[in-house]
Each structure stands twice: as structure tokens, then as C-alpha cells.
Structure 1
Amino acid sequence: MPIIRVSNVISYYTEKQTRFQVPGATALDAVRNAVEKFPQLKFHVFDNEGNLRRHINLFVNDVHVKELDGNDTPVGEEDVVRILAAAAGG
């Protein structure tokens, strides 16, 4: 099963786990399964229409999915899917 990694901030919604495994054939499948495992995560990752929020970035093995096959990037047993929220400030 792919490994999901989240920041300490997001881990508030994953029972303080920053690393855990979920099933999934693609990066997005893995994120959806992470939300099933930790329902509080849903509001922070997906909008009301079920799409990833604009500020959420997915990486597979430290490569942004935009440089791969997008959210449909295939993932395997040893792959790491990182969920990162973009930060802004001034």
C-alpha cells in the first residue's frame, strides 16, 4: 500500500500521524482512502464538489504530480504520496 505523508499541521486531522499507509492505485485514490480513514481530513483536502482544494498539492516520491500524470499518477506499494497545503503570507 502507498504511504501517505502529511505535515504536522495537517496531522491534527489524522490523529497526529504524519505517516500512514492506505490502499490506492493512483495518488488521488490514496488521498481519498486517507480521507475515509480520517474523515476530519475531508474538509481540509476536498471542496464541496469532491475536488482537491486549490491550495492542496500532491507529490509522489517528492515529485509534484503536475510533472507526472497529474492526480492520476499511478502509485505502488513503496511509493510515498505527500499531501501539502500551500502557505501564503506577507
Structure 2
Amino acid sequence: MPTIKFTANLKRFYPELTEIEMDSLDLNEILDALESKFKGLKDYVVDEQGQLRKHVNIFIGDELIRDRIALSDAVKPTDEIYIMQALSGG
């Protein structure tokens, strides 16, 4: 099963959030499953149109996801997925 990992910023809002394994074929399914466990988490990650928010990045392994709109990137059982807040400013 893919392993999903989170940054400390998300844990600030969801203290019970820990590294988790989920059986899924794509990112959209993973986000739906996460939402069922952690209410409101999906709203932090995606906007009202279901697209990845500008301040959030998701990596599958060391690759930034390609589909920020439909979140259809495929996920393999051995993948590590990182959901993190993008940093900006100076």
C-alpha cells in the first residue's frame, strides 16, 4: 500500500495526523479516503473546483505530481506520497 506522509504544518491543524498507508490507485481516491478519516483535510489541500491549492505541493516519491487539476496521477503500492505546504516569500 502507498504510504502518505505529511508536513508539520498540517499536523498543527490535525494533531492526530500521522504517516498512514492507504490502498488506492490515484491521488483523488487517497484524498477522499483522508477526508473520511480527517474531516476538512481535503479542503486544505484542494480548492472549490477540486484542484490542488497553490500553496500545497504533492510529491510521489521524488517527483512533483503532474496533474494539479484532476489529481489523476497514478500511485503504485510501493510509492511514498508527500503532502506539504509550499513556502514562498523572502
Contact map agreement 1:7 1:18 (CA 8 A) in 2:
no
Cα displacement string for residues 44-84 of structure 1 (whole angstroms, at most 9, x for unaligned residues)? 11212322212211110121112xxx332211222111111
TM-score (norm 2): 0.77
Are residues 78 and 14 of structure 1, via their aligned partners in 2, closer, same or farther at CA, if it must alter by over 3 Å?
farther
Are residues 13 and 77 of structure 1, via their aligned partners in 2, closer, same or farther at CA, if it must alter by over 3 Å?
farther
Unaligned segments of structure 1, at least 5 residues: none
Percent identity, aligned pairs only? 26
Which of structure 1's runs of 4+ aligned residues deviate more than 6 A? none
TM-score (norm 1): 0.77
Aligned residues: 87
Greater share of residues in helix = 1
Contact map agreement 1:13 1:38 (CA 8 A) in 2:
no
Q: How does 1:1-90 map to 2 (within 5 A)?
A: 1-66=1-66, 70=67, 71-90=71-90
